[in-house]
Structure 1
């Protein structure tokens, strides 16, 4: 079924606007490409303990906005499945199940939830407005951080969870929120220009 069949042109995601007749093959290609982006973004990191600072949340937000809720959620789940299977897709060196149940577990679950949330908002036009895109990205990051810190609280207690799982990431999260919203606005400008020129 085409990705854009349930979307009107007014609220179609970026992908559905650029490739409105995409079917199963396109969806599979997008899932693979998205998982590769998530893997690459995991390797761009500043080493912190117990959770490294990576570019993954930026990748999650952009994938969510560009793909829409179902495809973005599927992409993140495919990525997580690769990690559980033992492929070296995560930020840390621990293999598969060991890593996904470790300190980063809450953040990884947050990736999937945030991707679906951001995609859902994009399907309602939030990706086309600078203010709404920024707000959606902030919501997505808040979900990731909340679930991440909640899991760290189970492991280490609330005070330490805040100190190691939230406090060091404020500035980077703000920067990635701004950058993600800017990337989406730039992408939409390119699409609009091409549409106007054709």
Structure 2
């Protein structure tokens, strides 16, 4: 009898522990947008919400491409800031999907890349950066889904990692046009200060957003 009660007690503790871990995982998987917009039970409405968010960030990426300081071959734009936020706010899958949507619509002919659009843009020196947008948004989203956006240090670290990932395909593709000897001087060094300010700003805003939500819910 004593053994049975002990076993039942251990089983109950294990059940509660597993439930707590499950709830913790669900909380950590939330992004800031998930916390702001209540969960929609209807699958149709939930899908519509996701489409609006994905398309919305694709459009913002296109608009930010036109906010630029023109230098050749890679202009300075606000795109990287939008890409960072796309991953952080939408999460890994939807963040990456927003950038894939931006890429596909641009390649279909809409001139919302930095210098136009269309399938021929594959041969542009800056095309590699657009590929980098997809991987950067996914990686930042993955990190933020695991709680990296909850405090300043880890949020900035997530932005830094995403920024590095963005540059890898961008620089390799650019090197095909200007050579590896010049690629850092042309495609990386001019953007260090601007990118630093962008991912620090994003890193500051995300934890601040969580604090506001927490304060609002505690009232």
The yes-or-no answer on 1:73 pairing with 2:85 is: no
C-alpha separation between the residues in 2 aligned to 1:20 and 1:120?
21
Q: How does 1:54-73 map to 2 (within 5 A)?
A: 54-73=77-96
Query: With structure 2 as the length reference, what TM-score do the two structures score?
Result: 0.82
Shift of 1:19: 2.4
Report the structure, 1 or 2, having the larger helix content.
Answer: 2
Shift of 1:186: 2.5
Query: Larger Cα Rg: Structure 1 or Structure 2?
Result: 2
The answer to whether the 8 Å contact 1:9/1:17 transfers is: no
Quote the RMSD (CA, aligned, Å): 1.6
Give every structure 1 segment of 4 or more consecutive aligned residues whose post-TM-superposition deviation is greater than 4 Å: none
2:106 to 83, 92, 112: 83
Report the equivalent of 1:9.
27
2:163 to 141, 156, 159: 141
Provide structure 2 residue ranges, at least 5 long, that are not aligned to the other structure.
1-22, 41-45
Shift of 1:20: 4.3
The answer to whether the 8 Å contact 1:65/1:122 transfers is: yes
Larger displacement relative to structure 2 (122-131 or 152-161): 152-161
Report the equivalent of 1:194.
216
The yes-or-no answer on 1:126 pairing with 2:148 is: yes
2:203 to 174, 181, 187: 181
Report the equivalent of 2:53.
30
Query: With structure 1 as the length reference, what TM-score do the two structures score?
Result: 0.91
- Alignment deviations for residues 100-135 of structure 1 (CA, whole Å, 9 cap, x no partner): 431111100000000000000011000111101100
C-alpha separation between the residues in 2 aligned to 1:21 and 1:101?
42
